[in-house]
Structure 1
Amino acid sequence: MSSPYQTRPAATPIPGLWRSDRPRLLAALVAVGFGRAAVALGTAYLIGFAFSSMLGSVAETRIVTLVAVGLAMLAAAGAVFTALERVLAEKLGQSYVQAVRMTLFGQITRTPAREAGKRSVGASALRFTGDLSAVRQWVSLGISRLAVAVPLLAVCLAALVFVSPLIALGVGVVLLAGALVSLWQTRALRQATRAARRRRAQLAAHVTEHVAHPGVMQAFGQERSERSAVRRRGQRLRRAMIDRARAIGLIRATAEATVAVATGGVVVLAVTAGQGVGPAAAAVTIVGYLVAPVRDLARVGEYRTAATVALEKVREVLTRPRRPEPPADAPDLPDGPGVVDVHGISVNGLFGPLNARIEAGEVVALVGPNGAGKSTLLQIIAALGEADAGVVRLDGAALTDASAKSVRRAIGVVAADVPLLRGTVTDNVRYGDPEATDDEIAAVMARCGLDEVVQSLPQGSLTRVGERGARLSSGQRQRVALARALLTRPRLLLLDEADANLDPAAGRIIDRVIADYTGTVLLVTHRPERAAHADLIWELADGALTTRRLSYAPPPPLHLSA
């Protein structure tokens, strides 16, 4: 049968540079390049004029004054152009990186939770720090400098042709040779950069995982072993970074040698061609203005190489599977009591096709052995996971055809893959509905027994919560998660092992919430006593789903894993 899940979204493209205000910024940088070229030519002319006018005679005060004033004005104009270049370059870099950052984050927000869980936290964080920093440097220090340096070099070389074609030819040959050598050296730099980036990601992933869970090391006495592992990874990163620095040093040395040979060549060619002192001084001045662009161009390859490696990793993220989203004009879910229809749902290699129905207001316990796919099925019903075929309907409407906002308000989820976030207790509860009033927050907290919890916390409901609910007990975390899920008054409540590792008091809170809840409840549980209070049992095993309605008599033994 056809299914909305069978159409996978295409890979998200990396934003183009020629979008938004970036073409205007690039045009402004090119204009700055021409402006700096004008400053270079004006300075060269004044210096050549000064040498020609004052040679062999006593310098006239008027000439000296005019030359000095002219040079000062040109120096001021050059300073303005330099400052303007830096601001425009940073604007260009930040504009592009913001576009890439939002595209990257948008992709991550659409990645199924279980797919995201397969990725290293340290490596993922590196995308938003090191990788985007490399991209910003390429745009603001690479492309921007190219936009300025190319017109500056072109105008200066044209001016050298006017002064002396022989000098222009010599300087052009030297610059071309330097560029070719630098281009050849870029290959080694690319390999070194890729190796350094890989070593940095490995170290970041290892350290992030172990810093977040020091108790694992301590419980098994692996502190010394892990320190040795970090030391080894750090040494590998050190060697990789030194190799990269060596490759960068060779490219920069080539640039310095190119500038030195070009400057010396101008002097030699000027003497050989019998140029006057004035033209020779002008030619040397022009070459002097080429020093900075040549050095900048030498680093362009460095920035481009780092950005190329970084964008490879960004593309890996943008090609990950994504949850299909309804069109922007998708209708809201119709109002209803919470009837759930699972029709033909299957996940290749795991289960299906599955067919089942939950009537409004029923409590259903989903049981089965570990690895059977219970959490996967729950995520598909929550419209957070992706099936290979089939459709889930809530009150007759397919979840994949309804607006995302209405689906999220209709379904509340408590699961390990939907943990708490950094912030206060109140922040985490309000995350379920940012528009909720303080009274609504207080009511749902009382409903979940959270009001008793916050009284014992140092700063009450303003107590800071760490990543994944750190600094709270398991029972406290579940109460916060339950309050967050109930804040929108959903018609369907999905609980994925919400009763796992809870003390009796926290377990009673969950029982009370389920008993008082007027909507439909589907819970994954491994506890027979909790499943016994359900209206219906769904047992998922060996890829098939069987259902059994409970009576008031004691239930028969269930296939519940330990």
Structure 2
Amino acid sequence: MSVHGVSGEDRDDYTKEESREIRLRSRRLLLQLVRPHVRRITWTMVLVVISAGAGVVGPAIIAYGVDTALPAILDDQDWLPLWGATIAYVVSAVAAGVLMYVYTVSSARISQAVLFSLRRRLFDHTQRLSLEFHEQYTSGRIIARQTSDLESIRDLLDQGLNELVRGILFMAFTGVAMVLLDPISGLVLGIALVPAIILTRWFQVRSTVLFRETRTTSARMIVYFVETMTGIRAVKAFRTERRNDDEFGDRVEDYRVANHRVISIFGVYEPGIVALGATSIAAIVLLGGIRVIDGTLEVGVLLATALYARQFFQPIQGVAMFFNGYQSASAALEKISGVLEEQPTVPEPGEPAVLVHAKGRLDFDEVRFAYATGGDVLPALDLHIPAGQTVALVGTTGAGKTTLAKLLARFYDPSDGAVRLDGVDLRDLANDDLRRAVVMVTQEAYLFSGTVAENIALGKPDATRAEIEAAARAVGAHEFVSALPDGYDTDVNKRGGRVSSGQRQLLSFARAFLADPAVLILDEATASLDIPSERLVQEALQTLLADRTAIIIAHRLSTVAIADRVLVMEHGRVIEDDAPDALIAAGGRFADLHRAWRESLV
């Protein structure tokens, strides 16, 4: 079960059925992750048990040394028991330390292997999800899944789980050792354990609420920071720095207050545990001392029980902290499992049709499309484009031009009807064949970190340097690329920061042309170009689009001039369809748009 509102949103108002499904989903994911490591986990648990046991025997050995070994020396000059106790104590201490190191390293390897698998799986799956998911699920939350959520799971696996298992075993072995040495001291410790459990439970419940509050306020602070830095140009343009400072200050203050509340409960819990431990030691020493005087208890046993009581309460805090880490990691795993449960809304066919060499004929057969958030964008579209034809789409904002292009690139599937390439439904084509046949260039010319040559070769990684330079020359990018510090080997840096927006657009053109698709879609792709660059690209387009089908979406009607055919769209319907000159002569909607554009140039 994958509910787009459940896995896609960070909600708190789940129904019981949804909450149950989310927990089951998380457990299934956890089992899938740990199943390959069952043997190593079992071996690690054995090491933990032995290590905890070796760490507990120390006071018992001391009791033996005081009560048995020392009298043997005084009475019979027999040093063997003392040497035996000393050697046993050293061996147990060394064994505990070595085993602790071994199981810590082993558990770290398990946790890193699990995290490695989860990171790769999350990244691979997120890449394969359809555009619809990414348009609804904000990038900030996707980043949180890969960063803070995975870090919460890492903290639990690396530290919290170790503290829980070792702490519980250590307390259990210590309690058993005390009861075996002196049942009365064991009873005192058991009585002291009752308020310790009550205090720990209070801390667990209260801290769960407060830690959730710190995570929420931290997330709000980070989101606001990311949004502000991402939109820094708008911040500078509208001079909103002071208002942003105040808004961010409020979020920082909320985070500070939440952390202060957490520190406050620590201020109650930690001294409370320390006080209970000190009281227990005092009671055990007092009662033991009286019995030593009466001769009913040996001094070594009293010393051992005092040592056991001293170390008994030390792991409790770690156990309590585990539950807070568990809450955080559990919530993170639920969110990650939700993303992994999402299925592409544009799935690849099980038995794809073969289309080795696409010619570029396009058909929209009774296509209806509606986004999940609204009504029909394309009510009923019938459109047929012969191979090799250049078609321009014009119309007002919201007319459905970009939606048509997204359907053609198969970012979405139509709600009804079919989009066909050379007579084959796009839903029947393998993704690799479709991507080779159809390439879309958008207004956002995104450049990845790497060299100019690597960015141009994105659609054809095995391209030679000569092919890369030929593509750049074809779109008029070679001159400015050659002028860069290292030419085609220049690192474009963060998001193409070394080149202008117009130059980035030229590089995206070169990237598309190098891919050599049968169908090329240009969605406002010349919007970032200046007039000389646009003319240069238009000259290149007339040559490079001669043998391929092209769909051009543009508000600049200068780009439309190279089209064989113009489609004027309104409310998802084609209201005019003819050659540019014919539409201008007809005096319809396109003629009005063309006239307004000409007047804007005066």
Asked if these proteins are the same fold (TM beyond 0.5), I'd say yes
Whether the aligned pair in 1 keeps the contact of 2:451 and 2:490 (CA below 8 Å) is: yes
Which residue among 550, 558, 562 is the counterpart of 1:521?
Answer: 550
Ranges in structure 2 where 5+ consecutive residues have no aligned partner: 9-24, 598-602
Counterparts of 1:133-282 in structure 2, within 5 Å, are 133-175=151-193, 177-268=195-286, 270-271=288-289, 274-282=296-304
Corresponding position of 1:42: 57
Structure 2 distance, partners of 1:531, 1:272, is 103
8 Å Cα contact 2:278-2:310 kept in structure 1: no
User: Residue 244 and residue 333 in structure 1: after superposition, are their counterparts in 2 closer, same or farther (change >3 A)?
Assistant: farther
State the alpha-carbon separation in 2 of the partners of residues 22 and 264 from structure 1: 46
Q: Deviations over 1:314-353 (max 9, x none)?
A: 4564566743321566455343201122232311512223
Aligned amino acid, residue 519 of structure 2? L
Q: CA separation of 1:239/1:66 partners in 2, compared to 1, >3 Å: closer, same or farther?
A: same
Task: From the superposition, tell whether residues 263 and 447 of structure 1 become closer, same or farther in structure 2 (CA, over 3 Å).
Answer: farther
Match of 1:94 in 2: 112
500, 521, 536: which one aligns with 2:527? 500
1:44-82 C-alpha deviation (Å, 9 max, x unpaired): 332121011245564854444333332222221111122
5+ long unaligned stretches in structure 1: 1-6
Distance change in 2, residues 1:346/1:117 (3 Å): closer
TM-superposed CA distance for 1:532, in Å, is 3.4
Which one is further off, 174-183 or 374-383? Answer: 174-183
> Alpha carbons of 1:41 and 1:212: their partners in 2 closer, same or farther (altered >3 Å)?
closer
Q: Which residue is 1:444 aligned to?
A: 471
Q: Structure 1 CA distance, aligned partners of 2:297 and 2:445?
A: 77
Counterpart in the other structure of 2:346:
324
Q: Count the aligned residue pairs.
A: 556
CA displacement at 1:137 relative to structure 2: 0.8
AA matched with 1:544: R
Deviation at 1:87, TM superposition (A): 1.6
Query: Mean alpha-carbon deviation: is it higher for 83-92 or for 72-81?
Result: 83-92
Larger Rg over CA atoms: 2
Paired with 1:363 and 1:191, the residues of 2 have a C-alpha distance of 61
Q: Aligned-pair distance for 1:379?
A: 1.6
Tell me how far apart the structure 2 counterparts of residues 307 and 328 of structure 1 sit (CA, whole Å).
36
Q: Which amino acid aligns with 2:143?
A: A
Summarize the Cα distance change of 1:513–1:240 in structure 2 as closer, same or farther, 3 Å threshold: farther
Aligned ranges for residues 62-101 of structure 1 at < 5 Å? 62-101=80-119
What do the CA deviations read for 1:81-104 (whole angstroms, capped 9, x no partner)? Answer: 222232223223323333332343
Deviation at 1:552, TM superposition (A): 5.5
Given that 1:252 and 1:299 are in contact with CA atoms closer than 8 Å, whether structure 2 keeps it comes out as: no
| TM-superposed deviation, 1:249 | 4.8
Question: Of 369, 373, 379, which aligns to 2:396?
Answer: 369
Runs of 4+ in 1 over 6 A off after TM superposition: 7-12
- Secondary structure in 2 matching 1:355: strand
2:379 is matched with which residue: 352, 367, 388?
352
* Residue 539 of structure 1: aligned partner: 568
* AA of the residue aligned to 1:186: Q
Q: Output the TM-score relative to the length of structure 2.
A: 0.82
Question: What SS does structure 2 have at the residue aligned with 1:431?
Answer: helix
Could you tell me which residue of structure 1 aligns to residue 66 of structure 2? 51
Distance 2:461 2:438 in 1: 16
Structure 1 residue 497: Cα displacement: 0.4
Matched, 1:16 2:30: yes
3-state secondary structure, aligned to 2:109: helix
Q: Is the 8 A contact 1:9 1:324 kept in 2?
A: no
Counterpart residue number, 1:297: 319
Give the Cα separation in 2 of the matches to 1:181 and 1:389.
Answer: 62
Cα distance change on mapping 1:158 and 1:228 into 2, 3 Å:
same
C-alpha contact (below 8 Å) 1:373/1:540 kept by paired residues: yes
Tell me if the contact between 2:398 and 2:571 (Cα under 8 Å) persists in the aligned partners: no
- Comparing both chains, which one has the higher relative contact order based on Cα–Cα distances under 8 Å and sequence gaps of 6 or more? 1
> Cα–Cα, structure 1 residues 246 and 342, in superposed 2: closer, same or farther, change >3 Å?
farther
Is 1:548 the counterpart of 2:562? The answer is: no
Distance 1:226 1:376, change over 3 A: same
Note the alpha carbon deviations across 1:14-52, whole angstroms, 9 max, x for none: 531453444334323321221123313432332121011
- SS in structure 1 at match of 2:498: coil
The one-letter amino acid of 1:345's match is R
Higher helix share: 2
After superposition, the C-alpha distances for 1:204-240 in whole angstroms (9 at most, x for unaligned) are 2222233234332222222333223322222222222
Which residue number corresponds to residue 26 of structure 1? Answer: 41
CA offsets, 1:489-548, max 9 Å, x none?
Answer: 211111110011311232124323432222111121112232233122233322323451
Distance 2:42 2:540 in 1: 62
Q: Which residue pairs with 2:600 in the alignment? A: none
3-state SS of 1:464 partner = coil
Which stretch has the larger CA shift, 15-24 or 82-91?
15-24
CA RMSD of aligned residues (A): 3.3
